[in-house]
Amino acid sequence: MTAEAHEIYALLAAPLFAVGLVGVFACRHFLKKIIAAKILGASAFLLLIALAARDHGEGPDPVPHAMVITGIVVAVSAAAFALTLARRIWQETGQSGFGEKP
């Protein structure tokens, strides 16, 4: 495993974060907002793991790995909750985004 590979993924985290953050605000539909938030989260995980691997080379640091595994499960439960809210709003009002005319 070369050091360069981790640099690539660490650098990938930057545009991913930007895309996700802008997406959270710019996308209208709830579903897309949720997807944007998930991409945002994925970029943070990516950075954690990539930096852990960069600083250690052989034998990755188990602490960030454990954190990311926990994070993935937490992120998915948050996404499930957000989806439920979005679906309820859609069923009650017919709105699929904020500030939409029903």
Q: How many residues form the binding site for another protein (CB under 8 A)?
A: 79
Question: CA-CA distance, 102 to 95, in Å (whole number)?
Answer: 5
Least separation, in Å, of the C-beta of 101 and another protein?
10
Indicate whether 99 belongs to the interface with another protein (CB under 8 A).
no
For 70, other C-beta atoms within 10 Å of its C-beta total 10
Contact assessment for residue 53 and residue 8, using Cβ atoms and an 8 Å cutoff: no
Indicate whether 98 belongs to the interface with another protein (CB under 8 A).
no
Question: CA-CA distance, 63 to 67, in Å (whole number)?
Answer: 6
Indicate whether 90 belongs to the interface with another protein (CB under 8 A).
yes
Q: Which two tokens stand for residue 74?
A: 């937490």
Q: Which two tokens stand for residue 15?
A: 């545009």
Indicate whether 92 belongs to the interface with another protein (CB under 8 A).
yes
Indicate whether 4 belongs to the interface with another protein (CB under 8 A).
yes
Residues 19-58 that bind another protein (CB under 8 A): 19-23, 26-29, 31-32, 35-36, 38-39, 42, 45-47, 49-56
